[in-house]
A and B are shown apart, each in its own frame.
Chain A
Amino acid sequence: MQTTTIPPEMDLVYRRPDTLTQTPMHYCPGCGHGVTHKILMEVVDELGIQEQTVGVAPVGCSVFAYNYMNVDMQEAAHGRASAVATGIKRILPDRFVFSYQGDGDLAAIGTGETIHTVNRGENILVVFINNAIYGMTGGQMAPTTLLGMVTSTTPFGRESQVMGFPLKITDLVAQLPGAYYVTRQAVHSPTAVRKAKKAFRHALEYQKLNKGTCFIEIVSNCPAGWKMTPVEANEWMEKNMFPAYPLGDLKVPK
């Protein structure tokens, strides 16, 4: 990819921060991962902590996060990102450590790690992308899949009698004393993006205080898995995902 040199007489309004690599993203059109990567890395850039930031990626669509986030990144085994982040943070307590996980990774196979990481009040940021589906393996039911939602493993829609209820793990961890800042955001509109970015800034600033885990859920979409166009997916998300997963702060520092 080629970078363009901006003529000096023009005002520079926006540029790609150094915290984002030039690698074209592999995410599907309309997917929320790209925007979330971008604002998280913009915050790292604005706070000037690129050299002090370490991230842990999951198994799932964002397994390739290290290709795009220009900080130290490791992919952990499926579900174990927050546990690996714990080890890193305990050895390097002055670094900014985050895990970045999807709903399958964080709320299914990694539920135990998630709950105990927050319960210990690990001073890390947990980023949780909730799009209610397993994207990478072809659209299977996730713990956060909505009732009635059709996926490849709930061909007639999710039924609570058989498949249980959408797991609101963010509400769950907000109850834990180890949680310092818990919020639920989205990245589907300019307003939402600004709010989400502010949440990332708070969370990384709070990490300096050593007060506990910051947990940010991004309610996101999966146009490919939901079998919708990007626009339809965002409309469907507003109509169905937001009532089940209302945006806003769940726990803020007193």
Chain B
Amino acid sequence: MALRLRTGNQMIAQGAIQAGCRFFAGYPITPATGIFKTMIDELPGEGGVALSAPDEISAVAYCIGASMRGVKAMTATSGPGWALMTESVQYAVMTETPLVIALVQRLGPSTGGATQGAQGDVLLAEFAVSGGYTLPILSPSTAQECFDLTILAFTWSELLRTPVVLLSDKEVGMTAERVDDDLLRNVTSQDRLQWRNRSGGLEFMKPKTYGTYSFDCVQEIPAFTPVGGEMKVTATGSAHNKQGKLQKNSPETLEVLKHLEEKIRWRENDLVKVDADIQNGAKILVMSYGITSRAAKDAVAESRKRGIRVSFLGIQSLFPVPSRTITESLQGVGRVVVAEENLPGLYRSVIERHCNGARVLGVNKIGSLITPNDILNAVQS
């Protein structure tokens, strides 16, 4: 045991550095500033670059530029900054540029409540991309998970060549809690597959033999070619063919667009990360994510003490939706309780269709944390 007191924000920064992130750009915004501050303090010592940007639009664009060279890059923000970043996030989806964005949620809309936690950005993050392309989202609920999921976020972004959102919130990000250094697995993230020149010679200006996004089947992840490398690279946010050249409606361009979604969808069963505690014969399943899953866990423990058979499913990989895992957890379940800190039940609206006709109840609240009692009442009702 080597206990330290650390905030979720600090653990995201530490996880990023361990994952090999060597570029960070940020703009001050509560409650995400702690990540920015830690990266400014720590990253230069690791041989990385940490930059202050004049706004979130620049911050995310700096990261895309660095990632286009092959460097793992991250930025961190909250709701208002995410709103500004979405243009470039779409650009990263379109250009298949790996990137991790820590989105530490606060109460919205607009400037909202800078120091008030909430879980209101889950669909705002997922549906930021025109056309509904899946943006992988991981959501930690403890400082320890902040570390683990940051490393996983880098692995996903590198292997899938896509931006990945790390969806934290004010309570997880700014609360200091015990972290056991011994439990911080000595792992790092995987790296993107880089194109290698088999002949060993320069192959500039030979677009027929190589395209920036060359793939044979739509699910394939094209090998990455860094800018400033030996290969001529073209990339564009416009609809493009496999060489990264603007083309509007050609069959090849439509295939590239299909590929952007298929490369993630095809692997969705490999992209499942849940905290499952399934009880045999349970008639009730409690689902939650982020900070609220901690209250949900307590509520489940208390329910069992009172003799109620209940299962728990904390969802860490919110998108792509772990639909198969959800369906499997529903064995014999007649009622599902979904707890989250927003009023309409944002994530509940997404997973409802996977609940096979079970009755789905929401526990929703804003302005203060959802308590184990709030969830317990729904379990007992």
Do A and B belong to a common assembly? yes
Which A positions have Cβ atoms within 8 angstroms of B?
Answer: 59, 63, 75, 77-79, 104, 108-109, 111, 134, 136-138, 140-141, 143, 152-155, 163
Known contacts A78-B80, A109-B54, A138-B33; 13 additional CB pairs below 8 A are A59-B80, A59-B111, A77-B110, A108-B27, A134-B28, A136-B30, A138-B37, A140-B33, A140-B37, A152-B40, A153-B28, A153-B36, A153-B37
B80 A143 Cβ-Cβ under 8 A? no
Fill in one digit per residue for B6-46: 1 if any A CB lies within 8 Å of its CB, else 0: 00000000000000000000011110010011001100000
Q: Which of B37, B52, B111 contacts A63 (CB 8 A)?
A: B111
With A137-B33, A140-B28, A152-B37 known as contacts, the answer to whether A77 contacts B54 (CB < 8 A) is no
Q: Which of B29, B33, B36, B41 contacts A155 (CB 8 A)?
A: B41
B54 A111 Cβ-Cβ under 8 A? yes
Q: What is the CA–CA distance of A246 and B114 in the complex, to the nearest angstrom?
A: 34
B27 A109 Cβ-Cβ under 8 A? yes
Say if the beta carbon of B55 comes within 8 Å of chain A: yes
Q: What is the CA–CA distance of A104 and B111 in the complex, to the nearest angstrom?
A: 15
7 contacts between A and B (CB under 8 A): A59-B80, A109-B54, A137-B28, A137-B29, A140-B33, A152-B37, A153-B52
Q: What is the CA–CA distance of A141 and B54 in the complex, to the nearest angstrom?
A: 10
Distance in angstroms from B113 CB to nearest chain A CB is: 12
Number of A-B pairs, beta carbon distance below 8 Å: 47
Contacts of A137 in B (CB 8 A): 28-30, 33
Please report the total number of B residues contacting A with Cβ < 8 Å.
Answer: 17
Fill in one digit per residue for B69-80: 1 if any A CB lies within 8 Å of its CB, else 0: 000000000001
Distance in angstroms from B146 CB to nearest chain A CB is: 20
Q: Which of A108, A138, A140, A154 contacts B55 (CB 8 A)?
A: A108
A75 B111 Cβ-Cβ under 8 A? yes
Q: What is the CA–CA distance of A138 and B28 in the complex, to the nearest angstrom?
A: 9
Contacts of B114 in A (CB 8 A): 136
B52 A141 Cβ-Cβ under 8 A? yes
Q: What is the CA–CA distance of A163 and B51 in the complex, to the nearest angstrom?
A: 8
Contacts of B111 in A (CB 8 A): 59, 63, 75, 77-78
Contacts of B110 in A (CB 8 A): 77
A143 B54 Cβ-Cβ under 8 A? yes
**Which partner residue on chain B sits nearest A155 by CB separation?**
B41
Which B positions have Cβ atoms within 8 angstroms of A?
Answer: 27-30, 33, 36-37, 40-41, 52, 54-56, 80, 110-111, 114
Distance in angstroms from A127 CB to nearest chain B CB is: 19
Distance in angstroms from A74 CB to nearest chain B CB is: 12
Q: What is the CA–CA distance of A136 and B28 in the complex, to the nearest angstrom?
A: 9
- Looking at A63, A138, A153, which has the most chain B CB atoms within 10 Å of its CB? A153
B80 A108 Cβ-Cβ under 8 A? no
Distance in angstroms from A122 CB to nearest chain B CB is: 21
Q: What is the CA–CA distance of A141 and B53 in the complex, to the nearest angstrom?
A: 10
Distance in angstroms from A70 CB to nearest chain B CB is: 22
Distance in angstroms from B52 CB to nearest chain A CB is: 5
Contacts of B56 in A (CB 8 A): 109
**Which partner residue on chain B sits nearest A107 by CB separation?**
B54
Distance in angstroms from A56 CB to nearest chain B CB is: 13
Contacts of B28 in A (CB 8 A): 104, 134, 137-138, 140, 153
Q: What is the CA–CA distance of A78 and B55 in the complex, to the nearest angstrom?
A: 9
| Shortest 3 CB-CB contacts between residues of A and residues of B | A137-B28, A109-B55, A108-B54
Contacts of B33 in A (CB 8 A): 137-138, 140
Contacts of A78 in B (CB 8 A): 80, 111
Contacts of A111 in B (CB 8 A): 54
Q: What is the CA–CA distance of A136 and B33 in the complex, to the nearest angstrom?
A: 11
Contacts of A163 in B (CB 8 A): 52
Contacts of A77 in B (CB 8 A): 80, 110-111
Contacts of A141 in B (CB 8 A): 52
Distance in angstroms from B111 CB to nearest chain A CB is: 6
- Looking at A109, A141, A143, which has the most chain B CB atoms within 10 Å of its CB? A109
Distance in angstroms from A135 CB to nearest chain B CB is: 10
Contacts of B52 in A (CB 8 A): 140-141, 153-154, 163
Distance in angstroms from B79 CB to nearest chain A CB is: 11
Q: Which of B30, B40, B80 contacts A153 (CB 8 A)?
A: B40
**Which partner residue on chain A sits nearest B31 by CB separation?**
A137
Q: What is the CA–CA distance of A104 and B52 in the complex, to the nearest angstrom?
A: 12
Q: What is the CA–CA distance of A155 and B28 in the complex, to the nearest angstrom?
A: 15
Distance in angstroms from A158 CB to nearest chain B CB is: 9
With A109-B27, A137-B29 known as contacts, the answer to whether A79 contacts B55 (CB < 8 A) is yes
Distance in angstroms from B300 CB to nearest chain A CB is: 37
Distance in angstroms from B268 CB to nearest chain A CB is: 36
